[in-house]
Amino acid sequence: MLRLAQRIEELKVPRGHLAIFWLAQAGFVYKTSNGSVIFIDPYLSDYVYRMFGFKRLMGTPIEADEVDADLVVSTHAHGDHLDLDALPVLARVARLRFVGAPDCVPEYQKLGLPTGKYMQLDKGATLKFDGFSLTGVYADHGPSTPHALGIILESEGIRVWQVGDTAYRPEMMEPIFQMHPDIIIPPINGAFGNMDGIEAAKLAHDAGAKVAIPCHFWMFAEHNGNPLQFIKACQEYAYEVKPVLLSQGELFIYPS
């Protein structure tokens, strides 16, 4: 079987489609029809174990030195979203740029990245690139992480809401619902300030999404997460939404 890096490189995405690979935890790779490659929240090292003792239970389908991307995006500065052990390796790719929530920028600076190598994304702001855009949206990851974001990635009219780490706050997320995301990618671990599978299914319904891809489960024993709970909850609370459970490195193309 081909390595994930080679599969990403060789994949030709048809016009009007968007390719999505799950890396594990909250990490995803997107490839657009014009060949742009975007990593969002990749966790590729053992940084969290080294710093906090949380052992990773799922390996990585791609090593940091295999990544060839246009952007690496971090929704906030927690180590499983901003991987500070992988980041210096990723920075060696000449064309690669980093995009991060405001709390990520000091970490980029500590690592000595030149200012042209990274960009800040704020809530309510949109960054436009060749063939796609990124919009920072509301997330509530608790008072200790006030800058945490969700991300709306839009390409050729397809909108993906990578929810980021957040509690279930539908009353605060109404403006995001009005953006009519086609795909929602919520956390389901139900710990450390994040929604669980039932709340994630309710959010998929609230958003009017067509597809829901759960994430943020089974990486650390401490994080919990029950994808079967999410699938069953979609049947009860979001019957109109198609739940898609990905294995590591699996490809999903929208529209499928």
Number of structural domains (the chain) is 1
* pLDDT per position as a tens digit, 148-190: 999 999 999 999 999 999 999 999 999 999 999 999 999 999 8
> Average pLDDT of 68-82?
97
Domain extent at residue 58: 4-245
> Considering the domain boundaries, does residue 251 fall inside one?
no
| 33-37, 50-54, 124-128, 132-136: range with lowest mean pLDDT | 50-54
Q: Which residue, 187, 198, 190, 182, is CA-closest to 241? A: 182
Residue 253 lies in a domain: no
| Residue-level pLDDT at 30 | 98
Q: Is residue 16 part of a domain?
A: yes
Q: Give me the phi and psi of 183, to 5 degrees please.
A: -125, 135
Residue 256 lies in a domain: no
Residue 205 three-state SS: helix
For residue 254, being part of any structural domain is answered with no
At 237, which CATH number?
3.60.15.10
Query: Are residues 208 and 187 in contact, defined by beta-carbon separation less than 8 angstroms?
Result: no
Q: What is the pLDDT of residue 223?
A: 82
pLDDT at 256 over 80: no
pTM of the model: 0.97
Residues 120 and 106: their CA atoms lie apart, in Å, by 10
Separation CA 188–CA 250 (nearest Å): 19
Position 176, amino acid: I
Residue 19 has pLDDT above 80, yes or no: yes
217/227 Cα distance (integer angstroms) = 8
Residue 255, domain member (yes or no): no
Q: Considering only CA atoms, which of 24, 21, 34, 64 is closest in space to residue 160? A: 21
